[in-house]
């Protein structure tokens, strides 16, 4: 599907990401949930591709991320892995697959690597998840942490609310970030945190922060691909931090409506879209079927 690039990029590794962070080069990350979305993300030069549990909503039509199952995530991970050649791939551990015990989390992470063909995993949580992160990283599986707003815990947080808006709240986010860094995360997502707080936290850490709704002072940024490409109908709610870079919905709608109209009017398929048959063979066929 598609033509391989003439000058393929070098594979992004943990070492690549560390080198980028050391020299202050922003790290780009985007979500993907299937072969086409991963293919375009990789071709566009993304450093990291995240198979986020946001696919529960944008790909499977669920109400929130808590519904998606482990087997569903693994299916989407495999689809994404088939398309990515250069980007570093990370799979999101779904709610219920890692919280019970570090051993459960390690077992799930192993499945993401072996069955999902991911190169790393992401999980939500701060200090309380440090033993779990340590268990996974000690087994040789890279972990991307996630602090600040943790969507899988939205019910406990009172909904999708900005975190770290008070001095005490900001300190809690920092303490969480330091704890998961110590546990072995190679980087962490900072979600829905005031930009100034995120900048201070980033400065205090020795690993990269990937911001989403956390301002420009993070070490990199991530967005949900469906959101930023505009692949949704008009009127859908978007978080404040999303910038719409395209209008895939309108272009797809225009193309499909045009196809519908041309089929109805018999403009499509035109002669150039059909296969020829030699005239003598057509005449012979027509003669044969006369009495059928």
Q: Which residues, in sequence order, are CB contacts of 213 under 8 Å at separation 6+?
A: 149, 162, 191, 192, 193, 239, 240, 241
Q: Within 13 Å and on the Cβ side, how many CA atoms surround 261?
A: 6
Spell out a b/e string for 120-145, using b for 16 or more CB atoms within 10 Å of the CB, else e: bbbbbbbbebbebbbbbbeeebbbbb
Q: Which of 83, 89, 180 is nearest to 130 (CA)?
A: 180
Give the three-state DSSP class for 92.
strand
State yes or no: is 203 an active-site residue.
no
With residues binned 3-state (H G I as helix, E B as strand, rest as coil), the percentages for the chain, rounded to 5, are 45, 15, 45
Give the three-state DSSP class for 143.
strand
Distance separating alpha carbons of residues 46 and 234, to the nearest angstrom: 27
Distance separating alpha carbons of residues 177 and 130, to the nearest angstrom: 10
- CA 242 vs CA 95, 157, 214, 225, 264: distances in Å: 24, 21, 11, 10, 38
Longest alpha-carbon distance in the chain: 90
Of residues 191, 196, 251, 287, which has the active-site annotation? 191
Beta bridge mates, 209: 188
Contact 214, 193 (CB under 8 A): yes
Contact 1, 35 (CB under 8 A): yes
Residues noted as catalytic? 191
């Amino acid at each position: 599907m598609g033509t391989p690039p003439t000058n393929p990029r070098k594979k992004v590794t943990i070492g690549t990401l560390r080198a980028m962070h050391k020299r202050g080069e922003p790290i780009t990350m985007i979500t993907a949930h299937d072969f086409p979305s991963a293919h375009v993300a990789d071709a566009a030069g993304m450093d990291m591709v995240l198979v986020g549990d946001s696919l529960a909503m944008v790909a499977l039509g669920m109400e929130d991320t808590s519904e998606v199952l482990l087997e569903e995530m693994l299916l989407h991970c495999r689809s994404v892995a088939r398309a990515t050649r250069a980007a570093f791939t990370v799979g999101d551990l779904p709610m219920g697959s890692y919280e019970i015990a570090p051993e459960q989390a390690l077992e799930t992470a192993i499945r993401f690597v072996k069955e999902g063909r991911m190169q790393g995993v992401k999980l939500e949580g701060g200090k309380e998840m440090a033993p779990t992160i340590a268990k996974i990283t000690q087994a040789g599986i890279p972990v991307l942490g996630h602090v600040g707003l943790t969507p899988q815990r939205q019910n406990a947080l009172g909904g999708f609310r900005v975190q770290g808006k008070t001095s005490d709240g900001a300190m809690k986010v920092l303490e969480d970030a330091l704890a998961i860094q110590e546990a072995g995360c190679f980087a962490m997502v900072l979600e829905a945190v005031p930009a100034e707080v995120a900048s201070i936290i980033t400065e205090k850490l020795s690993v990269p922060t990937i911001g989403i709704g956390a301002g420009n002072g993070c070490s990199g940024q991530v967005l949900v691909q469906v959101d930023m490409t505009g692949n949704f109908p008009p009127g859908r709610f978007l978080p404040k931090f999303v910038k719409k870079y395209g209008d895939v919905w309108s272009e797809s709608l225009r193309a499909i409506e045009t196809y519908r109209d041309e089929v109805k009017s018999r403009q499509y398929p035109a002669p150039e879209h059909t296969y020829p048959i030699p005239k003598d063979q057509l005449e012979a066929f027509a003669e044969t079927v006369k009495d059928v």
